Amino acid sequence: MILHTVNKSPLTSSCLNNCLRAIGDNDGLLLIEDGVYGADKHQGLKLKPLPSGITVYALKADVEARGLMGRLSEDVRVIDDQEFVDLVVSHNASQSWY
């Protein structure tokens, strides 16, 4: 299980698309910094289809800082800093997409 983190907006970078091509079953996807724009349901950005068992997370502080609370896709779980740490510990490896 790999935790993939994306920090660039899909509006200005291909990081999220590249990640989605490489992500595997039961991996996790964490959107941080401007990467949280990838979960904005109003932008028409699609996080599907994802491999089975993928959970998409967005860091709460970054979502709030960008005014996106209440605008995220229903499939995205908003997490705090402690949950971020827990995710890193619970995955075998981490892959950052910058």
The pLDDT score that the predictor gives to residue 43 is 77
The pLDDT score that the predictor gives to residue 45 is 65
Q: What is the pTM of this model?
A: 0.93
Domain boundaries, the chain: 2-97
Question: What phi, psi does 20 have (nearest 5°)?
Answer: -65, -25
**87 contact partners, CB below 8 Å, separation of at least 6:** 3, 28, 30, 57, 79
The pLDDT score that the predictor gives to residue 34 is 97
* Average pLDDT along the chain, 98 residues, taken 10 residues at a time: 96 93 93 96 74 92 97 94 97 96
The CA distance from 72 to 77, in Å, is: 9
The CA distance from 36 to 69, in Å, is: 10
The CA distance from 81 to 45, in Å, is: 25
CATH fold, domain 2-97, is: Hypothetical Protein Ychn; Chain: A, (3.40.1260)
